[in-house]
Amino acid sequence: MIRPIWRFALAGLLGLPVIGLGLAALAPTGWYPADLAQHWAPHLAILSLPLWCWLGRRAWIGGGLALLAGAALWPWLWVAWAPRALPPGPSAVRVTTANVYYHSIQHRAAILPLEGDIVALIETRPEDRTLVRDDPRWPHQRWLQALNFGAMGLLSRWPMQANELDLLDAPGIDARIAMPWGSLRVIAVHTWSPSSRRHASLNRLQLTELAGIAETEPGPLLILGDLNATPGEAEMRRLHACGLRLAHGGSPRTWPSWLGPAGISIDHILVRGLRLGDAQAVDLPGSDHHGVTALISP
């Protein structure tokens, strides 16, 4: 009697990732748990391999698992084959986005080593403004001192005109930066984390609003920040349809930082009308995110 019980328990344990794949396949319905599962679909597909190897020799089980994995992974396959930005030219400059985590006590260690001619700081604290106020690397700064994690800053090597961007309750900074090659519109944003059904709905609406901005902006556009969305999400694909592009290597895994390359990509650098180099992860002491940095050029 012991062996069948252990086989049943093992099948149940190995079957959990398959249940997750089933949820991910339902993401187009807009159901909240399915949206969450879609962010982790590649991980769930890998975790389902042991069950596939065990029971997949049965045609109906193997075929069913293959169809389920295909339905869950098709947005990611689309992203893998989608057009990417061209590599940067000789006049490239560096841009960086960093969610330094509001509750961290290591903001100094996270912010001061950052490199970039344009830097977006997400989840800042009031003292961060004093920390870099006189930093010669960023003589032009715009700070948004919203409550708690909504605070952020945009730091620039070049002059800029910047205003607060109210993106359906998502904090953001909308700036025009006088780059060496001309005017560049830069939007730094932190959308809602999809930690509840309401917040997931807000996140989708905020990304849709970003797509509307991209559709109406005639010039080059740079969007960076914590979008709380993975590249396979439907609203991220809509941003892509508006001409916004990821780097050739895609977005590095940024959250949670303690998972390293096994995390998911929710912090992004997106461009339209610009060239974009490979995006690289940046270590941020004390934060639950990795930052992202890349080169851009006209």
DSSP 145: -
Helix 32-39 to helix 59-81 angle (10° resolution) is 80
CA–CA gap between residue 85 and residue 110 (Å, rounded): 28
The phi-psi region of residue 168 (left if phi > 0; otherwise alpha if psi is between -120 and 50; otherwise beta) is: left
CATH number of the domain located at residue range(s) 93-297 in this protein: 3.60.10.10
Residue boundaries of the structural domains of the chain: 2-81, 93-297
> The whole model's pTM is what?
0.91
pLDDT of residue 6: 63
CA–CA gap between residue 204 and residue 161 (Å, rounded): 28
pLDDT of residue 119: 98
**pLDDT means over runs of 10, the chain (298 residues):** 60 76 89 91 89 71 82 90 90 96 95 97 94 96 81 97 89 95 96 90 93 92 96 91 88 93 94 95 97 96
pLDDT of residue 1: 44
CA–CA gap between residue 204 and residue 233 (Å, rounded): 9
pLDDT digits (tens, 9 = 90+) for 219-259: 999 999 999 999 989 899 999 999 999 988 878 999 999 99
pLDDT of residue 163: 94
